[in-house]
A and B are shown apart, each in its own frame.
Chain A
């Protein structure tokens, strides 16, 4: 009896999976061709923006829920992208970090030629300080981020890595790979780390 219900269960799952696949199946070649044709004014050096890398492909295909082995491969691959500060110091200036968190400038087609350095736009998705009430909720609240981690050196390094390449901490994370994709410089990432991990930052002082 148990065997039968197991079999029926497997069949139901099989049918559901087949239906789901039938509903969404489309040849990836067609998707790529559609994308290529849809942006005819793209500058030549933007070709890469139309072509997803291996990690993006795996995340898109799994709707950001990769199988265990795929997730492990993503972590290994993305970890290799991280460049560390030459002097081994991960913490910059939290005041610059706060300005960076407020600033959403950069890399849109209307932002060329660049008028100023790119922003990190952290507040678009995260709560960081109590003072700033205009924050998004796509990412978790980061209030007291450093304090909750006792400002430990390991956590400082992990924070740097997470901002540099979020997929190291969470494969298929929604967060941009700020360092790996050259959105922010190493110094800018250090400033963002300072905002999160400095004891005197408003993030940790409950301000």
Chain B
């Protein structure tokens, strides 16, 4: 923790001259942000993400795709068609796919296997731009996740294949890459940090991870759409000046698994409202 110390020492030295003003400013800023969050939370039914959960439910039950069947026989891990509580136990290893899958990757798999959609087409432009609604796959993910709302993250992740994926996620979380040398850990490996005014969750820390990981998929006020976990990760890599992260790639699954493991026991409140 050499760096933390170094930064702390520098901050301390720098703050000697200005401490009272800077600290008061920090406190005011935090308060203003918290007020904003509170306003968003006060009326849960004002959450437009719930409309996407409804849309996702309709998509789940409607016969669609080249094979014209619904997703009601899709096995999300608790048996065919069982949606209640399924998200709480993901990611997990699926013997039929011989792969550990997170929520979105599993839905993608079902859309291909059961409905006959071409997954290559579905991952081409999988995420909405600002102002557009979440795409179909994301709406279905929002529906499924909402059916674990109020439950706790309880993915076991104890099979050898699952353990390996979590370890891969851990390595990826700390892997610096791109022209800015960023890793996930650059922003998410210490407490109480901000980019500009945006607070950054300390995702390495289970207590902090428990508070936020279960909020995704979430409705994002700034972009007026639901953002899924895969989209969230895609956006982090965009910020890291990396290329476009493919939905369902091993990297996206591994990071989801690593986060779910860190958030084990945390409340699921998807879709939550975010800034």
Contact = CB atoms under 8 A, between A and B. Distances in A.
Contacts of B122: none
B249 interface: yes
Contacts, number: 162
B124 to A, nearest CB: 9
B3 A170 contact: yes
B244 A34 contact: no
Contacts of B195: 124-125, 136, 138
B22 A141 contact: yes
A50 B177 contact: yes
Contact of B243 (A49, A138, A142, A172): A49
B251 A141 contact: no
Interface in A45-67: 46, 49-52, 56, 59-60, 63-65
A197 to B, nearest CB: 14
A161 interface: no
A142 B18 CA distance: 11
Contacts of A140: 7, 10-11, 14
A137 interface: yes
Nearest to B3: A64
B187 A138 contact: yes
For the residues of A in contact with B, the DSSP-based class is loop
Interface string B216-250: 00000000000000000000011101111110011
B167 A172 contact: no
A79 to B, nearest CB: 16
Interface in A93-115: 107-110
A24 B161 CA distance: 14
Interface stretch (B53-61, B149-157, B178-186): B178-186
A181 B179 contact: yes
Interface string A117-147: 0000001110100100111111111111100
Nearest to A178: B180
Interface string A20-52: 000111101011001101111111001001111
A174 interface: yes
A78 to B, nearest CB: 11
A63 B2 CA distance: 10
Interface string B169-208: 0111011111111110111010011111110100000000
A34 B254 contact: yes
Contacts of A145: 14
Interface residues of B, number: 59
Contact of A138 (B186, B249, B252): B186
Nearest to A170: B6
A50 B243 CA distance: 9
B226 to A, nearest CB: 20
Contacts of B244: 39, 41-42, 109
Contacts of B177: 35, 49-52, 56
Given A26-B168, A136-B194, A137-B194, A107 B180 contact: yes
Contacts of A123: 196
B183 A60 contact: yes
B29 interface: yes
A183 interface: yes
Contacts of A46: 243
A35 B251 CA distance: 6
Contacts of B11: 140-141
A199 interface: no
8 contacts: A24-B171, A25-B167, A31-B172, A38-B251, A51-B177, A65-B3, A109-B244, A135-B196
Given A109-B243, A137-B193, 12 more contacts: A23-B170, A25-B167, A26-B171, A34-B251, A49-B178, A49-B241, A49-B243, A50-B242, A52-B175, A52-B176, A64-B3, A140-B10
Interface of B: 1-3, 6-7, 10-11, 13-15, 17-18, 21-22, 25-26, 29, 164, 167-168, 170-172, 174-183, 185-187, 189, 192-198, 200, 237-239, 241-246, 249-252, 254
